[in-house]
Amino acid sequence: MNTLKTLFRIFALMLLPLAASATGLKEDMIAFDRAYIPALSITNRVPQSADTQRAMELMNAQWAIFRQKYMESQGGDRQWPSDMAKINGFIIAANRVVGTGKDFVKAHEELEGVRLTFLEMRERARMPYYLDDLTRFHDPMEEMYIAAQGKSGDQLTDADVTLIKAAFPKAEKLWAVALKSQVDPAFMLTSGQKEQQAKLMATETQLLATLKQALAANDRASIAKTAQAIRQPFAQLYVSFGDFSAFAKK
């Protein structure tokens, strides 16, 4: 029995470096995201922002640190190096676009691939990560938004309504997951930021409830209005996890 206890203690001690490594990896991912989110957001501004170059520089610096530290496989994930190379390719492409001084939205589209690739890497590692819950919600939410974009109730087609109805259950389920998820302290949120995020989440929750009622009643005017409204609070919530301290405003 004593031998078994001793072996168990040795095994537990062997796992400690792995746990510490995983924790350090997650914190470094958060540090990157805090620099990545401003670049993702600012490259999507119309008209183009003078802050774009600075945002890219800050993201590039954080990416260089992360890439140097974690280029090799993590946790036995054989796909890790190729995904790191893929992320690097997205960032290089985005920098190339910004370097031309025009059409920065194309840089934003390249940067979108970064968060999606990281999500896949963390899913393989079974690593809980708050922003991934928001990213998963984003896709069905965006489907509903695009179906209604720029349309009144009278302009919504049967196909539009069918698409929104099909996407809604997934969006509702994924939003419920996001509401229950815990934000890692490494995001270093202030009390003011936490309060603002709570308000944005409450707004998004209410909009989804309103959209659900509108779909049940086939109220096309309300469907069109609400489906177009769900994107803004979500976008503001996601962006709030970035570090914009180097810029005058978001």
Is the CB of residue 108 less than 8 Å from the CB of residue 40? yes
Phi, psi (degrees; rounded to nearest 5) at 110: -65, -40
State which amino acid sits at residue 151.
Answer: K
pLDDT higher than threshold 70 for residue 221 = yes
pTM of the model: 0.87
Q: What is the pLDDT of residues 185-196, one digit of tens each?
A: 999 999 999 999
Q: Which residue has the tokens 């990281």?
A: 118
> Can you give the pLDDT at residue 22?
55
How far apart CA 164 and CA 171 sit, in angstroms, is 10
List the beta strands (DSSP E) in 141-225: none
| CATH number for the domain running over 130-239 | 1.20.1440
Give the H/E segment covering residue 144. Answer: helix 130-148
Of residues 202 and 13, more confidently modeled? 202
Packing angle between helix 220-229 and helix 191-217, nearest 10 degrees? 160
- When the pLDDT of each residue in the chain is averaged and rounded to a whole number, the result is 90
The encoded tokens of residue 90 equal 């997205």
Three-state SS at 175: helix
First to last CA, the chain: 61
Is the CB of residue 160 less than 8 Å from the CB of residue 205? no
pLDDT higher than threshold 90 for residue 96 = yes
Q: What is the DSSP string of 111-142?
A: HHHHHHHHHHHHHHHT---HHHHHHHHHHHHH
Of residues 43 and 3, more confidently modeled? 43
pLDDT higher than threshold 50 for residue 4 = no
Three-state SS at 41: helix
Percent of the chain surpassing pLDDT 70 = 90
The encoded tokens of residue 42 equal 């600012």
Give residue limits of the domains in the chain: 35-125, 130-239
Q: What is the pLDDT of residues 99-156, one digit of tens each?
A: 999 999 999 999 999 999 999 999 999 999 999 999 999 999 999 999 999 999 999 9
